[in-house]
Amino acid sequence: MSIWEKLKDTFLGEKTPHITFQPEWSDYLSKNLPLYTRLPARLQTKLHDKIAAFVSTTYFEGCGGLELDDEMILTVAAQACMLIINHEGAPYPKLNTVLLYPSTFSSKVQDYNAGGTVSERRVHRLGESWSNGTVILAWDSVHHGATNIFDGHNVTFHEFAHQLDSESGQTDGVPRLNSHEAYQTWGTVLSEGYQQLCDSAERRKKTVLDHYGATNIAEYFAVATEAFFEKPKQLKKKRPDLYAELKDYYQLDPVEWFVS
């Protein structure tokens, strides 16, 4: 029986038992997530528990003709939970829905023009994160990001970093931190890094972080998260202060996973 078949009654309002991590799920993770195979055993075990909690409480829906299967659900869930392996509590308490499209999808964007007029246009996206607890992803991009762990591009990490960001009340590049001092240091390091990336992007200078992070500080945090998990050695070398902040926040040190 698939994950969705086990859980669908829960989301239709009927009570079903809480799902537990199944041993065969490890095969999906090993196949689709090379990063999973690099985790030490203790973190793999913690990740399994997070995944079980995630799929038990998150409604998945295939859109645009996509038929959901366990591989898709687990690939998304595992990457989302990798960000919060060492965070206490339920994974993403404000999250309720993940929508998966086969590939790039479009959404409407409003532009506020001079004179107060508003125009509307459609943009094509690989993912979106909404503050109401919804994440939208393109499956082909999810799969590619999961299997290529060296390019610094991972749409699932990116959009779920936005979900973490929004837990503080606003999606502003500042997730929920532990102390006033932590907020001060975080603000200084990320603000300086953001300005440096903006300068580099304007001069078209190659950087560890994707230039999309120069869009705004929220995108900077999401792009930095992608690099933290997929280009940790380069990020630590080029921006040790940023790496240290992300290491403290995620309570992880991905450099250790890339020793070989």
Residues 37-51, mean pLDDT to the nearest whole number: 96
Question: Does residue 253 sit in the same domain as residue 136?
Answer: no
Between the two ends of the chain, the Cα-to-Cα distance in Å is: 38
pLDDT tens, 5-23? 666 555 555 554 478 899 9
Question: Does residue 159 sit in the same domain as residue 200?
Answer: no
pLDDT tens, 83-104? 999 999 889 999 999 999 998 7
Please determine, for residue 3, whether its predicted confidence score (pLDDT) is greater than 80: no
User: Using CA atoms in the order 114, 120, 126, 128, what is the torsion angle rounded to 10 degrees?
Assistant: 80
Task: Assess contact for 131 and 171: CB atoms under 8 A.
Answer: yes
Q: Which of 99, 134, 167 is the last residue of a domain?
A: 167
Question: Does residue 192 sit in the same domain as residue 231?
Answer: yes
Residue 128: band (very low, low, confident or very high) from pLDDT cuts 50, 70, 90? confident
pLDDT tens, 148-198? 999 999 999 999 999 999 998 889 999 999 899 999 999 999 999 999 999
Question: Does residue 189 sit in the same domain as residue 161?
Answer: no
Q: Which of 167, 198, 214 is the last residue of a domain?
A: 167
DSSP state for residue 197 in the 8-state scheme: H
CATH number for the domain harbouring residue 66: 1.10.472.150
* pTM over the 0.85 mark: yes
Please determine, for residue 233, whether its predicted confidence score (pLDDT) is greater than 80: yes
pLDDT of residue 168: 83
Encode burial over 1-32: b for 16+ CB neighbours within 10 A, e otherwise: eebbebbeebbeeeeeeebebbeebeebbeeb
Find how far residue 224's CA is from the centre of its chain: 11
Question: Does residue 115 sit in the same domain as residue 32?
Answer: yes
Question: Does residue 152 sit in the same domain as residue 228?
Answer: no
Q: Which of 111, 143, 167 is the last residue of a domain?
A: 167
Q: Chain-wide mean pLDDT for the chain?
A: 89
Q: Which domain holds residue 208?
A: 171-260
Residues 237-244, mean pLDDT to the nearest whole number: 97
User: Using CA atoms in the order 11, 17, 23, 26, what is the torsion angle rounded to 10 degrees?
Assistant: 20
Percent of the chain with pLDDT over 90: 75
Question: Does residue 35 sit in the same domain as residue 119?
Answer: yes
Q: Report how many domains make up the chain.
A: 2
Question: Does residue 161 sit in the same domain as residue 189?
Answer: no
pLDDT of residue 90: 87
Q: Which residue has the higher pLDDT, 73 or 123?
A: 73
Question: Does residue 139 sit in the same domain as residue 178?
Answer: no
Question: Does residue 119 sit in the same domain as residue 207?
Answer: no
Residue the block writes with tokens 């041993």: 23
Task: Assess contact for 145 and 157: CB atoms under 8 A.
Answer: yes
| CA distance linking residue 7 with residue 185, whole number of Å | 42
CATH number for the domain harbouring residue 201: 3.40.390.10
